[in-house]
Amino acid sequence: MQDVINKSDIISNVASNCDFITDEKVDLAVREILNLMVDTLADDGRIEVRGFGSFCLHHREARVGRNPKTGENIPIPAKSIPHFKPGKALREAVNNWM
């Protein structure tokens, strides 16, 4: 098993397992799924894939930080962080794999 799987690995794996779909259509489908996920999160939506997990945003408020070298206060703007919560089936599969 590979340590890292990237988008092109997903595309080639799906294409090799689906004889009736061309590589170009698999590429388009994977890219469209990923774009839909990005757009949904960018609109503060939630993505749920049963058995796999869910994606949502965690919002961090603006705050004042401190430069440890100079001691100067630095404003840190509010931001949203993508968060993934694995589903039960994924957690069990990972824990039972070892």
When the pLDDT of each residue in the chain is averaged and rounded to a whole number, the result is 92
What share of the chain has pLDDT > 70, as a percent?
Answer: 96
Q: Tell me, what's the pLDDT at 2?
A: 64
**pLDDT mean over 34-61:** 95
CATH architecture of the domain formed by 47-98: Irregular (4.10)
What are the pLDDT digits (tens) for 51-84?
899 999 999 999 999 999 999 999 999 999 999 9
Reported pTM: 0.79
Domain with CATH 4.10.520.10 in the chain: 47-98
Whether 23 shows a pLDDT value over 90: the answer reads: no
| Other beta carbons less than 10 A from residue 10's beta carbon | 15
Identify the band that residue 30 occupies on the pLDDT scale cut at 50, 70 and 90: very high
